[in-house]
Structure 1
Amino acid sequence: MFLDGLDVSMVGVALPSIGTELGLSTTSLQWIVNGYVLGYGALLLLGGRTADLLGRRRVFLIALAVFAAASLVGGLVDDGTLLIVTRFVKGVAAAFTAPTALSILTTTFREGPARNKALSIFAVFGASGYSSGLILGGLLTSAGWRWNFLMPVPLAILALVAGIALIPRDRPADAGGHDLAGAATLTAGMLLAVYSVVSAPERGWADPVTILLFVLAIALLAAFVVIEQRIAHPLVRLAILRIGTIVRANLAIIVLFGSYLSFQFMLTIYFQAALGWSPLRMAFALLPAGLIVAFVSPYMSRVINRYGTQRPIIAALVSLSVSYVWFLAFGGDPTPNYAADILPSVLLIGVGFTLAFSSIMSQATAGVEDSEQGLAAGLVQTSGQIGGAVVLAVTTALVTAGSHSADGAAVATFEQYRPGLILVTGVALAGLAVMLLGAGRRRRDPEPEPVEDDVLEPAVP
């Protein structure tokens, strides 16, 4: 989790330096990011289910070794195409490590207070990795962009050694390992779907190729659904999608990642392009949000134990919505006062993410058999990635549409970002309305059994 956050934020800071040294166009630089998103978002669901079927420990360790190797190669290559290939391979590896790591936690610790605390600690490392990456990215880029790729290598090796020593051996699931047609249609359909989303802003949403790719992706995913309904041992048991809490958790993470990632994307560009801030100053401006997640997340288990998962998720969406509205109202000053105009939005977005992440992960894996924990983990993480990619793609299109003045000259003003900000605000408010509607139709979360908050109690094998 720490590695994923670290890698994503460090590489984003290094993009301008990479483009200068390797002679890459803006389009090619975009694929250094999108290559990772393509491999990660497209294969998360398959990665989580593969962990159930082949064994979580085995899949985790192999994927982590691939992640380390791809990081090393990425820091050594001198060709832009090869660099993009290594990013895709890293995304594929992360698509197997991320849901497998989550399912290792959810199968190791009993559902309830123990699992909630484990998930809270899990969230701490993700936030710490992302926040550290923003600062380290700015510092390492000044020494050379390659260090941004080489930095994760020793950490991945350390995690690999710790995994070999600490992760208990587990048994693969008894059924579901022979659905080759389902695996093929799911992989191809998700790859096409994610590729369509990340390439649409460049090609155009109404472009015939974009439309054809979306149609093919839908056809492949429809074929996957038909196969899963007819095969004796499906790769994915579709009945899991009829569990209300899981559906709500997946909708919530679509809203969380879709609005949060798009908002942060606009802030990083706005601070540097419109306000003229350096990458390091921009990183420090966003740092309070990461610090809130890092320092408050360990206490989220107590919140979930007392109030359940739905109420913290609703509170999180309220916090995010207020954050976006505040920035819309006060962030457009050409010479903003950071403490009064920007910091409140940054703090509120940190509070929102803190309340949401652990609660969503807990709700998305609650009541699921151990044999399908990888599936549940992959499903919620896939929803987050797809939601983030779709909203970010639309946001990018809106910002780009307003990025030139009437005479064609590039401009960088707050008005350029206003349509995107309105979009993320609308996404957050729509998600809040759906969660409130769902809360009104369901019973209150059952009270957890009284277990000490400070104890991480493993499940009995």
Structure 2
Amino acid sequence: MTSIVDVVSEEKSAPKRTNLTVALIVIAMAQLMIVLDGTIVNIATPHILTALNFSQSSVQWVVTAYALSFGSLLLLGGRLGDLLGRRRMFVLGVTIFALASLLGGIAPTGGLLLTARALQGAGAALASPAALALINTTFPAGKERNRAMAVYAAMSGAGAAVGLILGGLLTEADWRWTFFINVPLGLAVAALAPRVLIESEGGDGTLDVWGAVTGTVGLFGIVYGLSHAGQQGASWGDTETLLPLLGGLVVVALFVVVESRVKHPLLPLRILGDRTRAVSLTAMLVVGAAMFAMFFFLGLFVQQVLGYSPVKTGFAFLPFSVGIVAAAGIASNLAGRVDPRWLAGFGGLLMTASLWGFTQLSLDSGYASHLMPWVVVMGFGMGFVFIPLTLTATAGVHKDDSGAAASALNTAQQIGGAVGIAALTTVFTHYATQKGTELAAAGQAAMAKATASGNPPSKGQIAEATHHAALQAQTFGSTQAFWFAAGMILVATLLVIGLLGIKHTELANEEAAVAVG
């Protein structure tokens, strides 16, 4: 017989229905802040490059440091939420994020800025899995959870829109304001959260310290090695490339061994043992790589090649945000009627087509005719991918593992982004350098011919030709990176269509399956 204490405890642990909307707003605002930061920094990257003396190849670390810290610490953040309370970790994470943003805004050197970016990632790693887990455990499976996930995904699109436009406006004043903007937003969310979110009960078990250490070190080694290989003058045979890569792979293997033997693992391998979840996480990893690469390379292309101002660049990406918000709403409505493999597969094909469109960019490309259509297609594709994969990655998970499952999903996306930028920057650097060498040789030959004919070029003509060649090399390197990204997305799409076998009816009924399990 259920005791009065049990009833009171159950009522205390479940949020009142009238508070669900307010709670979702708070959670969504945190997601807005995290996404806002990423897109703002992409717009500010060319200005940060100049102000703090980064090189063209090393400036990627302004983006990568955040994604790497975020992704490598997400599993730890999710587990801490399961053990110590998700609301507590949500508030702590948002507070750390806000204070780290303040540090980034006042950073006088590149090293301190990268430190602030890493701290921002650590704060996001605490807040993000707690936020997603709170959605997964607060809203009942089916129509209500689908709508909540749609709001969550839509805020990602809104965050991109607000971030790009604010990034442009603030960068024109001073790029440092792109960090300061997070401070009042983050502190407001942290202050409001305890008033509207109900704390989850702490779970049983202990913290998997060795899992946290091996997972973080292993992922860092892999991304560092890839990033170094992408730097100007580096190669795959360099010691500084090979040692971190091989060492990272070894430590990740050790992480798997640790997780299979400890009593309370950071990432329970049973989460990865489910085929539906494994396919979903693999696909999300690749999607993260494509998304981060698109913003990184297109942000540089639009400003440096097309010559757009930061504000104009922000508005140039606005159609992407409109597309992802619209597609998320459509996908959430279809999720109860269409199997996730077809929704995500359709989205993946749209993303592949968009990336192919970006491979056709040139110095003569116009925004309305060559860029905007594919930006819209990419937004719709991502919206159709995010909703079904988020649902399938967290479907059928026991409530005690909901934080770990949410962490695994976010980890896949963030590490995919970090590895994607690092790997595709390697592609970019190789082809841009190759093209630059060809153009330099052709330019020298043309200059020698003109000089021999008694009509040597002026210094202004030489400078203009050199600048034009640099833009050609940058554009060629970017298009080759987009070719690789398109191939990655196509493979992930085929994987989803072929192996993601869960039905939409199973997603609607998975809450009952969890209860039985």
TM-score (normalised: structure 2) = 0.81
* Contact 2:289/2:416 (8 A) holds in 1: yes
Tell me whether 1:405 sits opposite 2:434 in the alignment.
no
Q: Which has the higher contact order (CA 8 A, sep 6+)?
A: 1
Match of 1:95 among 100, 125, 132: 125
Tell me whether 1:437 sits opposite 2:476 in the alignment.
no
Please list, as runs of the form range in 1=range in 2, the aligned pairs for 1:4-403 lying within 5 A after superposition. Answer: 4-26=34-56, 29-175=59-205, 177-202=206-231, 203-329=234-360, 331-332=361-362, 334-403=363-432
- Counterpart of 2:112 in structure 1: which amino acid? L
Deviation at 1:172, TM superposition (A): 1.5
In the TM superposition, what whole-angstrom CA distance separates every residue of 1:227-283 from its partner, at most 9, and x where no partner exists?
Answer: 222233333221211111101111221221222322333222222333333333232
Distance, in Å, in 2 between the alignment partners of 1:101 and 1:49 is: 13
In the TM superposition, what whole-angstrom CA distance separates every residue of 1:355-389 from its partner, at most 9, and x where no partner exists?
Answer: 11121111110100111111111111111122222
Distance, in Å, in 2 between the alignment partners of 1:212 and 1:158 is: 44
* Contact 1:41/1:194 (8 A) holds in 2: no
TM-score (normalised: structure 1) = 0.90
* Contact 2:393/2:405 (8 A) holds in 1: yes
Distance, in Å, in 2 between the alignment partners of 1:57 and 1:219 is: 35
Change (3 A) 1:246 1:138: same
Q: Secondary structure at the match of 1:44?
A: helix
Distance, in Å, in 1 between the alignment partners of 2:350 and 2:188 is: 37
* Contact 1:197/1:389 (8 A) holds in 2: no
Change (3 A) 1:28 1:363: same
Unaligned runs of 5+ in 1: 451-458
Change (3 A) 1:416 1:299: closer
Choose 394-403 or 145-154, whichever is displaced more.
Answer: 394-403
Change (3 A) 1:44 1:206: farther
In the TM superposition, what whole-angstrom CA distance separates every residue of 1:99-154 from its partner, at most 9, and x where no partner exists?
Answer: 11111111111222211111110011111112111111111112122211110111
CA RMSD of aligned residues (A): 2.3
Change (3 A) 1:77 1:448: closer
* Contact 1:57/1:168 (8 A) holds in 2: yes
Ranges of 4+ aligned residues in structure 1 off by more than 6 Å: none
Q: Secondary structure at the match of 2:317?
A: helix
Q: Secondary structure at the match of 1:368?
A: coil
* Contact 2:350/2:377 (8 A) holds in 1: yes
Change (3 A) 1:299 1:341: same
Q: Secondary structure at the match of 1:169?
A: coil
Change (3 A) 1:182 1:272: closer
Distance, in Å, in 1 between the alignment partners of 2:367 and 2:83 is: 50
Distance, in Å, in 1 between the alignment partners of 2:375 and 2:91 is: 36
Deviation at 1:312, TM superposition (A): 0.9
Q: Which has the larger radius of gyration?
A: 2
* Contact 1:68/1:153 (8 A) holds in 2: yes
In the TM superposition, what whole-angstrom CA distance separates every residue of 1:406-450 from its partner, at most 9, and x where no partner exists?
Answer: 2275522343333212111111211122222215xx364326659
Distance, in Å, in 2 between the alignment partners of 1:142 and 1:230 is: 53
In the TM superposition, what whole-angstrom CA distance separates every residue of 1:279-307 from its partner, at most 9, and x where no partner exists?
Answer: 33232222101112234423432111111
Count of residues in Structure 1 that have an aligned counterpart in Structure 2: 446
In the TM superposition, what whole-angstrom CA distance separates every residue of 1:165-208 from its partner, at most 9, and x where no partner exists?
Answer: 11101111123x14333333223223333333333312433312
* Contact 1:123/1:358 (8 A) holds in 2: yes
Tell me whether 1:415 sits opposite 2:476 in the alignment.
yes
Distance, in Å, in 1 between the alignment partners of 2:160 and 2:508 is: 34
Percent of aligned pairs sharing the same letter: 33
Change (3 A) 1:355 1:387: same
* Contact 1:308/1:447 (8 A) holds in 2: no
Match of 2:487 among 417, 423, 426: 426
Q: Secondary structure at the match of 2:470?
A: coil
- Counterpart of 2:331 in structure 1: which amino acid? M
Q: Secondary structure at the match of 1:171?
A: coil
* Contact 2:337/2:504 (8 A) holds in 1: no
Q: Secondary structure at the match of 1:405?
A: helix
Distance, in Å, in 1 between the alignment partners of 2:437 and 2:323 is: 38
Q: Secondary structure at the match of 2:157?
A: helix
Deviation at 1:47, TM superposition (A): 1.3
Change (3 A) 1:138 1:365: same
Distance, in Å, in 1 between the alignment partners of 2:508 and 2:307 is: 53
Choose 425-434 or 413-422, whichever is displaced more.
Answer: 413-422
Distance, in Å, in 2 between the alignment partners of 1:337 and 1:180 is: 52
* Contact 2:154/2:324 (8 A) holds in 1: yes
